[in-house]
Structure 1
Amino acid sequence: MKRVLKLIGKIILVLISIRLLHFLIALILTTITVNQNKEHPKETFVYLNTNGVHLDIILPKEKMEESLLKDLKYTQSDQYFSFGWGDENFYLNTLQWKDLTFKNAINALFLKSSTLIHLTKYAEVNPSWIKIELSQQQLSTLHQYLENSFYEDTESKKVILPNKGYAYNDDFYKATGNYTCFFTCNTWVNSAFKKANLKACLWTPFDFGLMDKYSD
């Protein structure tokens, strides 16, 4: 029994050490900025937002391409579209932090899991959003990134999950890609910025890294 407890203790210590190492590496890579000195025409804009846990990219409807708007559920008053991406089980079964279970957390972080796009619509700009100016080409790259993140059925249509939103102004759509501890909801947004040659973290699973870079 003593040997078993000792073995369990070693396993727990190794797991804690791996988690701490992952956290420290993530912090270091978060502080490293890419595309910092790249100049680009300021022809248009998008917004960046966090709910305190994960990031969203927000596009004004008037600046969205028809191919991205296609199949999305929205009303006449919806003028700003907020895109988030994440683990399907986590999104649907962890509405609040009190709903978080050990199993859900482990599955989301360490197992490749199916994902969803979380689309929230707004009638006006929220003062907490950070406005980011960019070129038309960079906006087109973001559009393409967002489009590629939507799963499409055999008829090339985006797939909505009926009646699964948290409130009256949001919906979930099936997404491409897998969620892991190496590619999280915030990594997804950071990767979008990197692809568009916008200032971004070298790599980050956190929301504060990208927010801090645009809060100067």
Structure 2
Amino acid sequence: MKYVKKILKYTVYSLLGILLYVGISILISFITVNDDPSFNQTKFVYLSSNGIHLSIIIPKQHLSLDLNDELQLKPTDNFVRFGWGDENFYMNTPTWADFKFKYAFGALFLDNPTLIEVSSHRFQQKKWVKVPVNATQLFKLNVFISETFQVNQKEEKIVLTQTMYPNSKLYKAKGSYSPLKTCNTWVNDGFKSSGMKASYWTLFDFGLLNKYKK
């Protein structure tokens, strides 16, 4: 009986901790940073979400020369999407049908390496959310993305050989996934560091999306 009470106590504390974490995450996502109007926002990047995971899309003509060259884009690749996340999760859940709780648990609570998923698109998609930027913000966003890639001794980005993502490439990335740094906080951090309107911190995709949806 003593052990049952301990298990129940830890279960209750764990549930309360999760609820507190989620509740604070939602509240903080409504706090906006870089909310002052920016001038000369005549260019656009985009946000996309699969319902959980945010990505940044940059038109090819707005990519830095380094990214444009090193990603080996085709002439028909007009838009490039970047998403950051846990390596184990990427490698084991190419679709939501492959989802298992242990992968999500490992992504949040284990010190796992991370990847950048890069995919290209010929046409703009209706579901993308348009984000106005100026030249300075665009430059800083390119730098943020470029500096997230791991490189080898030759300063080359490290691409993985895999066939689960036929329309995407996976690259080794810097940083570890954790409850405080997720795929969505990576996108939000990119916007914050570029002087773009963003959440103070956001766990969920809607924290950033709602700041640009009309």
> TM bucket by the smaller chain?
over 0.9
Letter in 1 for 2:23: L
What is the Cα deviation at residue 37 of structure 1? 2.1
Residues in 2 aligned to 1:73 and 1:39: alpha-carbon distance in whole angstroms: 32
Residues in 2 aligned to 1:170 and 1:61: alpha-carbon distance in whole angstroms: 16
Say yes or no: does 1:211 pair with 2:214.
Answer: no
- Which structure 1 residue ranges, 5 or more long, are not aligned? none
Say if 2:78 and 2:121, in contact at 8 Å, map to a contact too.
Answer: yes
Residues in 2 aligned to 1:139 and 1:40: alpha-carbon distance in whole angstroms: 13
Residues in 2 aligned to 1:96 and 1:7: alpha-carbon distance in whole angstroms: 38
Residues in 2 aligned to 1:163 and 1:21: alpha-carbon distance in whole angstroms: 38
Residues in 1 aligned to 2:128 and 2:117: alpha-carbon distance in whole angstroms: 17
- Counterparts of residues 1-216 of structure 1 (less than 5 Å): 2-167=1-166, 169-216=167-214
Q: TM-score, normalization: structure 1?
A: 0.94
Give the % identical residues: 39
Residues in 2 aligned to 1:183 and 1:82: alpha-carbon distance in whole angstroms: 19
Deviation string for 1:129-179 (max 9, x for gaps)?
Answer: 111111101000000000011000110000111234423x21111101111
- Which structure 2 residue ranges, 5 or more long, are not aligned? none
Aligned length: 214
**What stretches of structure 1 move > 4 A for 4+ residues in a row?**
none
Residues in 1 aligned to 2:119 and 2:176: alpha-carbon distance in whole angstroms: 21
Say if 1:84 and 1:185, in contact at 8 Å, map to a contact too.
Answer: yes
Deviation string for 1:168-210 (max 9, x for gaps)?
Answer: x211111011110110000000011111111111100110111
Say if 2:107 and 2:178, in contact at 8 Å, map to a contact too.
Answer: yes
Letter in 2 for 1:115: T
Cα RMSD, aligned residues only: 1.3
Letter in 1 for 2:41: K
Q: TM-score, normalization: structure 2?
A: 0.95
Residues in 2 aligned to 1:116 and 1:164: alpha-carbon distance in whole angstroms: 15
